[in-house]
Copies of this chain bind each other. A is one copy, B any other.
Amino acid sequence: MRGFGMHTINDVGWIEKSRPVCGPLDAIIRPTIVAPCSSDTHMSHGGSGPKTNLILGHEAVGIVDEIGSAVNKFQVGDYVAVPCVTPDWLERGVQNFNSFSHDTGGFGSFKFLGVKDGVMAEFFHVNQADANLAVIPEGVSPEAALMSVDMMSTGFHGAELAEIKAGDTVVVVGIGPVGLMAIAGAALFGAGRIIAVGTRPKAMEVAAAYGASEFVSYKEGSILEQIMARTDGKGPHKVIVAGGDMETFAQAVLMTRPNGIISNVNYFDVADKVSFPAYYWSLGMGDKDIRGSFCPGGAERIARLLDMIKYGRIDPTKMISHQFKGFDKLPEAFELMDKKAPDLIKPIVYM
């Protein structure tokens, strides 16, 4: 079969492979729509070290094409959303207080990106199908379902991690797709005022639709000073970090009130250093909780997000800025994501 991925670092293109093999608990999916993600392009540039001949992609919806002999809940032909994080539920790690993202240790539940071939192919493999596939319910479009498997789950998780209380003032740093879903999540989980940090007009428009109360731009001076000025010197209760650099992260720590939370869902680079003066963190005693988390895994998570779409709490398709028709357009969509055009939020490719 044909897939799209990296031949080696900085060299992407078509890859010919044999169709993946379906174990007794597993399923093989034929994707109908996929979405390239910035972590795919990041990997193609060597972000996780040298990988060769690897099909990329971890966001897909599709049709069940084959099921293992021990799969009970799905049939060939079912139209499913595939969580980007698919834990091995027989690993001890998942029993450890909702650590569904780290089955065997850090990121262990993330099978697609690098561990095995991804979803940008004619077919792809899903482990433990009964626990890791979610049927797309009536009333939810495949496009909306596609947005749930990573962007919505990760962005919402940024808001969940921030343990938003009724009326919290929340800052969201970054208005890429994860930041947008963090804004929507903050609004959906009880925030009062939401201050978004970002400058791109198209994304700002969508951010406002998802609940951002106002915007702050680094082009107009220090983010920190602007936010402190807007909050009478008190700062926000919570900051969700979905973009920015390490200086922004340090400022997020400083601006947060005592008993606040800095919730990170930004993927740092292996060369980055987390660094801030101790007094930014109230000398270690200010009850400012610094958290960083990974997209939760498993089917139940996605089923719940699909229900939120179905019952009208959120329309994640507002993020879809570019649509490509046909498998052959994958390289073009991938390049668009890699270049990050100003009007880009999220591209999708109909297979």
Output the least CB separation between A257 and chain B (Å). 8
In the bound complex, residues from chain B placing their C-beta under 8 Å from that of A96 are 259, 300
Say if the beta carbon of A342 comes within 8 Å of chain B: no
A289-B289, A293-B287 known; A305+B166 contact, CB < 8 A: yes
Contact A101 B292 (CB under 8 A): no
In the bound complex, residues from chain B placing their C-beta under 8 Å from that of A156 are 166
Which among B128, B287, B306 is the interface contact of A99 at CB below 8 angstroms?
B287
Q: Mark A95-139, 1 if CB is under 8 A from B, else 0.
A: 111111110011100000000000000000000101100000000
In the bound complex, residues from chain B placing their C-beta under 8 Å from that of A160 are 166
Contact B284 A266 (CB under 8 A): yes
Contact B285 A294 (CB under 8 A): yes
A160-B166, A167-B308, A293-B285 known; A89+B94 contact, CB < 8 A: yes
Segment from A1-9, A27-35, A189-197 that makes contact with B: A189-197
Q: How many residues of A contact B (CB 8 A)?
A: 91
Contact A278 B268 (CB under 8 A): yes
- Closest residue of B by beta carbon distance from A156: B166
Output the least CB separation between A247 and chain B (Å). 13
Say if the beta carbon of A290 comes within 8 Å of chain B: yes
Segment from A269-277, A315-323, A332-340 that makes contact with B: A269-277
In the bound complex, residues from chain B placing their C-beta under 8 Å from that of A194 are 311
A130-B90, A189-B189, A190-B188 known; A292+B300 contact, CB < 8 A: no
The chain A residues found within 8 Å of chain B, CB to CB, are 24-25, 70, 89-102, 105-107, 128, 130-131, 156, 160, 165-169, 185, 187-194, 211, 213, 234, 241, 257-259, 264-294, 298-301, 303-308, 310-313
